[in-house]
Amino acid sequence: MEEKVITVTSGKGGVGKTTTTANIGSALALLGKKVVVLDGDIGLRNLDIVMGLENRIVYDIVDYVEGRCRLRQALIRDKRAPELYLLPTAQTRDKSAINPGQMVQVCDELRKEFDYIIIDSPAGIEQGFQNALAPADRVLVVTNPEVSSVRDADRVIGLVEAQQKGPVQLIINRLIAARVKKQEMLSTQDIMDVLSTEIIGIVPEDEAILSSSNRGTPVVFNGKSPAAIAYRDIARRLIGEDVPLVQPQPTSWWQKLFGRTE
């Protein structure tokens, strides 16, 4: 099966799921794919804010599921890319407003029209997580280089494996190479010792993220900041391009460490 539905999850909150969803979705759209990003966090929506589309929401996924609108009406077009859409969630409801079966149905509708459906999972392992996982063809687990985040990622990977959803790939987010070198932060190797899951990207800590989230412009839309490059690389790996994985370095950030030497 074609891997169209990609769920971004983590277990722990605040590790960068929403930023990752917005940037990977936008980067895939900039590569010419038809993409919809879907906010799975019913009641605590914020993918629309990070995408800068908050003021255009009329209908949301709960309205569609409950029959108050057609799917087309709930989709918000993002004009910064040729074919990028947001399916927002409801602010006034909670996780029980949608069940996993309905989530699968919504995604089955979206599959007909889109190349990629990127789902931003809520934190936790309760119903919102189960909703986000149910339709997934591929799961991206986001972790930060610190012990509690890795522990939660391990738990989530175990749950995903138990439901035989896969493949599972790992994004290490907010890595600060200088602090890893000083052994103040877990290294990629430390994380792999516990998780032993394929890494699809390492995103360095980047000041550009904060300002871009506040402005509602994902970093991949402008500039060459380190995080923007990392997210664009992840998008290219998702569409099957062979982009070697690079390990952020304190001295020269994009020095190639592993992957094949060219």
Binding residues for another protein (CB under 8 A): 130, 151-152, 154-155, 157-159, 161-164, 190, 194, 196
111 vs 151 by CB, closer to another protein: 151
Smallest distance, Å, CB 126 to another protein?
10
Smallest distance, Å, CB 15 to another protein?
15
Smallest distance, Å, CB 103 to another protein?
15
193 vs 207 by CB, closer to another protein: 193
196 vs 255 by CB, closer to another protein: 196
Angstrom distances, CA of residue 92 to CA of 52, 75, 95, 123, 262 = 20, 18, 10, 18, 52
32 vs 167 by CB, closer to another protein: 167
CA distance 149 to 8: 15
Smallest distance, Å, CB 20 to another protein?
21
What region, left, alpha or beta, does residue 170 occupy, with left being phi > 0 and alpha being psi -120 to 50 degrees? beta
DSSP tag of 121: P
- The number of angstroms, rounded, from the C-alpha of 108 to the middle of its chain's C-alpha atoms is 19
160 vs 228 by CB, closer to another protein: 160
81 vs 123 by CB, closer to another protein: 123
Smallest distance, Å, CB 219 to another protein?
31
Q: What is the DSSP string of 135-174?
A: T-SEEEEEE-SSHHHHHHHHHHHHHHHHTT---EEEEEEE
Taking a C-beta distance cutoff of 8 angstroms, is the pair 122, 93 a contact?
no
Smallest distance, Å, CB 147 to another protein?
8
Taking a C-beta distance cutoff of 8 angstroms, is the pair 155, 195 a contact?
no
Angstrom distances, CA of residue 227 to CA of 16, 24, 97, 122, 196 = 12, 11, 34, 22, 23
